[in-house]
Amino acid sequence: MLKKNLWLIYRKWMIIALLSGCVYVFGYSDRVESGSAAAPCIQECDSNLNECNDYCDYYCDETSDQQACDSCLQACTQAHFQCLTYAVSCQDLDVVPGRCSVEYADHCPIINGTPNCSHSGAYAAYYLICNNAIGPGQCVSCPYANYFCVGSNGLAACFGS
């Protein structure tokens, strides 16, 4: 029991450290790349947001909890808004597309093999639909293996448990 509690504490500190690192890297790296006298490009801010959201698929997988997923995605959004506060639009610069798209919908428990969104355990939250890194097609990063993310249309999980 003590080892399990220590693991939970270490895991939370690890998530906090990772999110702090993401905010630092994605929030402040634009200033370094663009030079001290120039503002970052809006397109760079958007590309950084896409990259950050892609990284969150590990925190939104079926073995993760909803708090870790939401914290990662919210850290990305916060860093994006911070970047946009001093960004300018640049010509001839494309936004690098993300591998994952952030979705928000009901998370419904699967009872007897069927999602039940009227169950008291259903809730609304974030999840990701990603292009599968291994082979073609899409997959879903939805926290909790025994839940179904509405809008994912039954896509397979991105990571197996």
Residue pLDDT, tens place only, 66-124? 999 999 999 999 999 999 999 999 988 899 999 999 999 999 999 998 999 999 999 99
Position 26 confidence tier, pLDDT thresholds 50, 70, 90 = low
Higher pLDDT, 143 or 37: 143
State how far the alpha carbon of 117 is from the alpha carbons of 83, 108, 123, 140, 143, in Å. 37, 5, 8, 18, 16
% the chain with pLDDT above 90? 55
Phi first, then psi: what are they for 53, rounded to 5°? -60, -40
Higher pLDDT, 71 or 161: 71
Judge residue 29's burial from the number of C-beta atoms within 10 Å of its C-beta, 0-12 exposed, 13-18 middle, 19 or more buried: middle
